[in-house]
């Protein structure tokens, strides 16, 4: 299993950060890695990357302004994501951890670096969005 964690402080209040991260239908406005999202119901959604490759998500925990968790699945991997949000020093500390099992053996050596790259891109896009640069 590959595990990747990223933690940082955003210079915005927790409400604004929470809304940006959990409002899936707005992802295409600020996420540079997606072509579209599809909301199935209040607990399930699908993200499509720039090549229209789908990844399914099922929300398992939602504690507003504190914690958001979901299961992840596509043809290459399955896993779980945990997002923790905390007010800190006039901003919001976010702590995101992803746990992934790769389904294809040949991809296992690259899983952790891929996860880290995805997390870094997500945070860069989120920061731009929260600062009004997107």
89: left (phi over 0), alpha (psi -120 to 50) or beta: left
Q: Which helix (H) or strand (E) holds 7?
A: strand 2-10
Beta strands 44-49 and 54-63 are: antiparallel
Q: What pLDDT, on a 0 to 100 scale, did the predictor assign at position 108?
A: 80
The total number of structural domains in the chain stands at 1
φ/ψ of residue 14, rounded to 5: -60, -35
Decide if 100 contacts 111 (C-beta within 8 A).
yes
Q: Is residue 30 part of a domain?
A: no
Q: Is residue 91 part of a domain?
A: yes
Output the pTM of the full model.
0.92
Compute how many other C-beta atoms are within 10 angstroms of the C-beta atom of residue 62. 13
Q: Is residue 124 part of a domain?
A: yes
Q: Is residue 121 part of a domain?
A: yes
Q: Is residue 16 part of a domain?
A: yes
Q: CA 1 to CA 18: how far, in whole Å?
A: 28
Q: Is residue 60 part of a domain?
A: no
Mean pLDDT (10-residue bins), the chain, 134 residues: 94 95 97 97 97 98 98 96 94 96 84 91 95 77
Decide if 19 contacts 29 (C-beta within 8 A).
no
Q: Is residue 55 part of a domain?
A: no
Q: Is residue 114 part of a domain?
A: yes
Range(s) of the domain holding residue 89 = 2-22+70-75+84-130
Q: What pLDDT, on a 0 to 100 scale, did the predictor assign at position 104?
A: 82
């Amino acid at each position: 299993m590959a595990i990747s964690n990223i933690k940082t402080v955003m210079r915005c209040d927790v409400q604004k950060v929470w809304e940006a991260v959990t409002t899936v239908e707005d992802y295409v406005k600020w996420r540079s890695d997606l072509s579209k999202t599809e909301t199935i119901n209040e607990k399930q959604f699908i993200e499509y990357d720039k090549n229209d490759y789908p990844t399914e998500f099922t929300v398992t925990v939602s504690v507003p302004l504190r914690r958001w968790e979901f299961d992840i699945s596509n043809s290459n991997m399955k896993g779980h994501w945990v997002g923790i949000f905390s007010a800190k020093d006039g901003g919001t500390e976010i702590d995101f951890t992803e746990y992934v099992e790769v389904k294809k053996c040949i991809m296992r050596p690259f899983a952790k670096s891929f996860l880290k790259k995805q997390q870094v891109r997500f945070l860069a896009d989120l920061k731009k969005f929260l600062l009004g640069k997107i």
